[in-house]
Structure 1
Amino acid sequence: MSKFIIGKDRNQTEFFCLEQVIDQSNSVRIIDLFVDSLSLKDMGFKTEFIENGRPAYHPADLLKLYLYGYLNRTRSSRQLEKECIRNLEVIWLLKGLVPDHNTIANFRKNNPKAIEKVFRSTVSMANHFNLIGGTLVAGDSTKLRAQNSKKNNFNPAKIERHIAYIDNKLQEYQNQLAQADGDIVAQNEIQEKVIKHKNQKQKYQDYQKQIEETNTTQISTSDPDSRQMITRNNITEVAYNVQTVVDEKHKIPIDFKVTNQNDSKAMGGMLRRTKTILGHTDFKALYDKGYYTGSEFDYADRLGIEVLVAVPEVAAHAPNPDFDVEHFVYDKEKDCFTCPAKQVLTTNGNWYNKTNGKSVTKMKHYKTTACLSCALMQQCTKNKKGRLIERSQHADLIYENKVRVEQNKELYRKRQAIVEHPYGIIKRQWDFYYIMTKKSIKHASADVGLIFTAFNLRRIINLIDPNQMKKYMQLLWLTFLSYYKGFKAILKQLFFSKSKTTFFNLSLNHC
């Protein structure tokens, strides 16, 4: 008798049923039910194809494959194709189908809007199970590296350096040609280098022209919509900036948007979308100092949403910090400032445009002639004409935000714990720190949409009893079927008796 556990004989013939191999509690069954409960046609997936030629794969099968892959840290279309052959869970999920990796990849990049609607359905499911509080949200962004190297990203300064380098090389080749007079072999070799460098120079000149014509600041050749951005500690990556809004109750993302812009102008748009998703404005939103922009406070105020945005440090200090602008007291009724030396700075009432990049802010200027005779002027300013204070058109809203942050410090401390939770899992645990697709922001949105859909499904699976989820999704499937096939009355009679819960009956009545 052997002292070790011995495996089965490989030549032994066995019969098994796929349904019996997959345990009833396996999360792959949740994926199957979830996708079957969706109205894929209404979401924008293509479900009708011309009849000639080879039949297409149903979008439900490809969506199931992707959700399974993302939930198991597999995003590559080639890897997913392999899983269709060797993974029993995938074989059960797709009923033995093995789509080609090109078919799998095309499904993802061709359905960004539809995938976003699948994500929205996970938010609706979470809301149904009371997993979304809707009273406190936190917003932030994370950089996901694009499929574009820094070498293939160009800005005007970088292009000028390349052109200058090529001009120097061309001058060197001209000198070498003069020295190689009569040596035909050497001249031919140098001419080949000259032609190569001239072609390179033309390429960079074309990039230069493209930047001027499109009024952009960068060009990325592999993934045109990606941009070089600061990720942390002045380290840059060619990446996309993903804006997210996360609900405080169970750290569930309720919205995302893939951008190639920084955070300064992102808050207002995300708040508007959050208002639509939650259906009300009775919530607080927490943001970090990257979103500290006057126009965005104005947008939030017009929406009627209370925001708490971290106040950044003063960008420029006076020679003596005791004379920083924060120590100047503003009198709203008289529209003037009083400086630490008790002098009054007044305005002529005119508004001046201050440009910062593409944005323009209206400012009032405040000053006094008393600066010229003030003994403390050297501590206050280096301007020989005296101190000039600027006050933005959004100054009142900026001040109100500062007061809110100071009065709700404990509440604001929750921001990082709320919004960083999904990033920690997605980037650290799942290793999804880069965008899988390339060539457009739409393709990147599809990848990010699947990431957040998988994250929400995992959160819901972990928080809700699987049997409850199955009942909910079966109900969705039945009501969907009854709506489209006219079987509402029959299904209600066959599947729902008087002993069922009021919720199920009410759900059918509101189909």
Structure 2
Amino acid sequence: VMPRFIPLNYQQNSMVVINYLDQLQPGTFEYAIHHLIDDKLDLSVFYPKYRNDEMGRPAYDPAALLKIILFAYSKGITSSREIQWCCETNVIFKALSCDSVPHFTTIAAFVSGRRSEIESVFEQVLLVCHEQGLLGNELFAIDGCKMSSNAAKEWSGTFKELEEKRAKLKRQARYHMSEHEKLDKNERADEARKQRAEQAIETLNKAHDKIEQFLKTAEPRMGKGKRPKEVKSNITDNESAKMTTSKGTIQGYNGVATVDKKHQIVVDASVFGEGQEHHTLQPVLAHIQDRFKRLAISDDILKAQTIITADTGFANEKNMEYLHDNDINAYIPDNQFRSRDPKFNEQKNKYGKRHQDKKTRNKPVFQASEFSFDPVTNSCVCPAGETISFRGIRETEQGIKTAYFEGRLLQCRNCDKKHQCMHNPSAADHRKGAGRQVSFRLDNNRPPTYTDWMKHRVDSPQGKQIYSHRMSVVEPVFGNIGSNKKLNRFSLRGKSKVQGQWHLFCLIHNIEKLKNYGQLAA
């Protein structure tokens, strides 16, 4: 017996009646976006760029564009073509855009060309958070999230390295030209080989011309510090930088967020094209101070003794002096603060250092104290009795003079004690350069520094209790943005455009907090 089913005809057309407001149900993120933009925010900041009040076709409403972009970003969709496709096929996008379908170029131009307007929307949402009591202003945690940009690190280098790369491309192009001439003379040569040779020549010439144009129009990029050195430029996006992360080296930007403790609201979102974070502390604090005054939240949030916390990447002597002289209630530890805490001694012995290879994690390593150092003659003898080379005295970021020594690789490679001395002895057989490196602080009889002042603050029982909140305040924000929203790279080029995108990332996080804890949650 064959059962009977309702027949299915996928070729049929049907009319579906949809009320767009019915698709935006209270309690959802799309409802929060729609309600905020229509009832709470002033989008007149977007109007001055339009010039169609008397002539020209009507433009897409910035309210509709902002709604679909925020909703798309919340789902991990940053491609403007994909956002256009969603407006054509997805009922929630249709409801937010009121069935308008902006072209992908319109969407892309809105994201990349409205940095200041997006920042104004970010501040308006922050003010709504303040009015609804979501800001505690008790403790701010600052941290950076390094993300790749729309530029390849292979196109990075100092001007000298780029000149060498240009010369190499020219040599390769000449070689392919000579090969192509030989193929032309050979009547039996395969046409496919000729085409491949022509394509290779064209590709190499384009790359050569790209580097040559950059070298003619740009200036060497200099780092920061007392004695600035040239840092690597990038031909594609010279405002981005090479950065070392836990997942390797990337070409990108550092998105720095300042997060309020009470409900993890982002109060400042700034982008920096440099990997070192200690240069970013003072600009970030200045942004916060200025923003809170403009929004009439606080005349001087830093003088109000709001606690500022940040990790060791933000610590150097200059920043500690700035915090001390401006009476800022900050707790920013140096990179040795855990070694001074007896609670962490057992953890270090039990778990070892992070990112250390499992095979070498528990192997004994000779400490600097086991090397014989003579500060008078600036000489050093290793545990094996060999004199290792003196590499000079330099000042650290904390202003502490340090003597540096390193052994010759040939010495260390053939040493019987290399397994007790070198951190990774197996690499010594393949590596070029130096052997074991060691340094000694020359801080005897030196005057106290501002870093010492911060050490006492962080090492105090109150300081340890306060600093323990930092990670639980700021890290979940990056977890939400990076993992839940899948926003783990910047898709634009140029610091200004990336700044607008980072504000969008953090704006979505703040709107979610309003949805969960504000009046929208009622």
Smaller-chain TM-score bracket: 0.5 to 0.7
> Which string of whole-angstrom CA distances, capped at 9 and with x for unpartnered residues, describes residues 321-377 of structure 1?
7999xxxxxxxxxxxxxxxxxxxxxxxxxxxxx888xx9x98899xxxxxxxxxxxx
Aligned residue among 307, 320, 323 for 2:369 = 320
Give the count of matched residue pairs.
Answer: 410
Alpha-carbon distance change, 33 to 16 in structure 1, aligned in 2, over 3 angstroms: closer
1:64: which partner in 2? 67
- Percent identity between the two aligned chains: 22
Aligned amino acid, residue 122 of structure 1:
V
Distance 1:433 1:164, change over 3 A: same
- Shift in Å at residue 423 of structure 1? 0.6
Aligned to 2:503: 449
Instruction: Please name the residue that 2:468 is paired with.
Output: 413
String of CA shifts for 1:220-271, please: whole Å, max 9, x gaps.
23333221111226x2111011111111112221101011022121112212
Query: Quick one: structure 1 residues 401 and 41, their matched pair in 2 at CA, closer, same or farther if it must change by over 3 Å?
Result: same
Choose which of 242, 263, 278 in structure 1 pairs with 2:255: 242
**1:292 maps to which residue?**
315
1:462 maps to which residue? 516
Cα distance in structure 1, aligned partners of 2:8 and 2:512? 34
Contact 2:73 2:487 in 1 (8 A): no
Aligned residue number for residue 256 of structure 1? 269
Aligned to 2:33: 31
Does the 8 Å CA contact 2:136/2:262 hold for their aligned counterparts? yes
Q: CA offsets, 1:51-73, max 9 Å, x none?
A: 22211112122112212222232
Contact 2:27 2:515 in 1 (8 A): no
8 Å contact from structure 1 (residues 41, 47) kept in 2: no
Q: What is the identity, as a one-letter code, of the residue corresponding to 1:241?
A: N
Please show how residues 404-443 of structure 1 align to structure 2 within 5 Å: 404-407=457-460, 408-436=463-491, 438-443=492-497
Q: Which residue of 1 aligns with 2:285?
A: 271
Structure 1 residue 202, shift from structure 2 partner? 6.2
User: Is the CA contact 1:364–1:390 (under 8 Å) kept in the aligned structure 2?
Assistant: no
For 1:151-190, what aligned pairs fall within 5 Å after superposition? 151-156=154-159, 158-163=161-166, 165-166=168-169
Aligned mate of 1:19, from 18, 21, 26: 21
Once residues 158 and 6 of structure 1 are traced to their aligned partners in structure 2, the CA distance between those partners, rounded to angstroms, is 69
Q: CA offsets, 1:458-502, max 9 Å, x none?
A: 12212235265xxxxxxxxxxxxxxxxxxxxxxxxxxxxxxxxxx
8 A Cα contact 1:22 1:89, kept in partner: yes
Which structure is higher in helix share?
1
- Which stretch of structure 1 is more off in the superposition, 418-427 or 214-223? 214-223
Cα offset, 1:30, TM superposition: 2.2
Q: 1:399 to 1:166 in 2, by over 3 A?
A: same
Distance 1:22 1:427, change over 3 A: closer
Secondary structure of 1:225's aligned partner: coil
> Structure 1: any 5+ residue segments left out of the alignment?
325-353, 366-385, 469-511
Decide which structure has the larger Cα Rg and report it: 1
- The answer (yes or no) to whether the contact 2:317–2:399 under 8 Å persists in 1 is no
- Measured after TM superposition, the shift of residue 42 of structure 1 is 4.0
For the Cα contact (< 8 Å) 2:400–2:443, is it kept in 1? no
TM-score, normalised relative to structure 2: 0.67
**Quick check: 1:47–1:58 contact (8 Å CA) kept in 2?**
no
The one-letter amino acid paired with 1:259 is F
| SS of equivalent to 1:244 | strand
Matched residue of 2:249: which SS?
strand
CA 49–4 in structure 1, closer or farther in 2 if over 3 Å, else same: same
RMSD, aligned CA: 4.3
Distance 1:403 1:440, change over 3 A: same
Specify the code of the residue in structure 2 equivalent to 1:449: H
Give the C-alpha shift of residue 32 in structure 1.
Answer: 1.7
Quote the Cα distance in structure 2 between the aligned partners of 1:266 and 1:149.
Answer: 24
Aligned to 1:80: 83
Q: Please give the residue correspondences for 1:115-264 in structure 2 after superposition, counting only pairs within 5 Å.
A: 115-156=118-159, 158-163=161-166, 165-166=168-169, 204-208=211-215, 212=219, 215=222, 217-232=231-246, 235-261=248-274, 262-264=276-278
- Residue 298 of structure 1 deviates from its aligned partner by 1.9
Q: Deviations over 1:182-240 (max 9, x none)?
A: x7999xx9x9899987886565455445565565633323333221111226x211101
1:320 partner SS: helix
Rounded Cα–Cα distance in structure 2 between residues aligned with 1:453 and 1:238:
24
TM-score, length basis structure 1: 0.68
Tell whether the 8 Å contact from 2:258 to 2:268 is kept in structure 1 after alignment: yes
Call closer, same or farther: CA 1:243–1:196 in 2, change over 3 Å.
Answer: closer
Structure 1 residue identity aligned to 2:485: W
Query: 1:392 Cα deviation (Å)?
Result: 8.5
**1:263-287: per-residue Cα shift (whole Å, max 9, x none)?**
1211122122223326222111111
Instruction: Give the superposition deviation at 1:427.
Output: 0.8
Compared CA separation, residues 391 and 424, structure 1 to 2 (3 A): farther
